[in-house]
Amino acid sequence: MDACCEAEECPAQFNLSQMYRRGQGIPQDYKSAVKWYTLAAEQGNAKAQGNLGLMYALGTGVLKDYVYAHMWGNIAATHGSESGAKLKDFVEKQMTSADISAAQKLARECARKK
């Protein structure tokens, strides 16, 4: 179970992000999807963390950033997301060792902040 699932707002935030990303019932808006994924991801929702990482990897709604993609994939993986682990492994192939170190440092900082 995701850490944020105890909070009433997290599943709604994740669902809203999915709706914006897919354009389901509302106009497709990637920037809004990123906003809502971020809120859910920061509360520990592994699916939101992985999807947010993917958006950074693809540059969808945000500037393409493999460091943030790796960070969110890594965090999602620590919360049991297989797709987060796959994302992390995929973007590592596009990154320098310095970028990977920076992403790992960011992930550790996020974990400390919870």
Map out the domains of the chain with their CATH numbers: 7-113 (1.25.40.10)
Is 95 in a helix, a strand, or coil?
coil
Cα-Cα-Cα-Cα dihedral of 113, 78, 46, 1, to 10°?
Answer: -100
Q: How confident is the model at residue 113 (pLDDT cuts 50, 70, 90)?
A: confident
Q: How confident is the model at residue 7 (pLDDT cuts 50, 70, 90)?
A: very low
pLDDT digits (tens, 9 = 90+) for 50-107: 999 999 999 999 999 999 999 999 999 999 999 999 999 999 999 999 999 999 999 9
Average pLDDT over every residue of 15-19: 95
Q: How confident is the model at residue 2 (pLDDT cuts 50, 70, 90)?
A: very low
21's tokens: 């990303």
CA–CA distances in Å: residue 90 to residues 26, 57, 73, 81, 83: 31, 9, 10, 14, 10
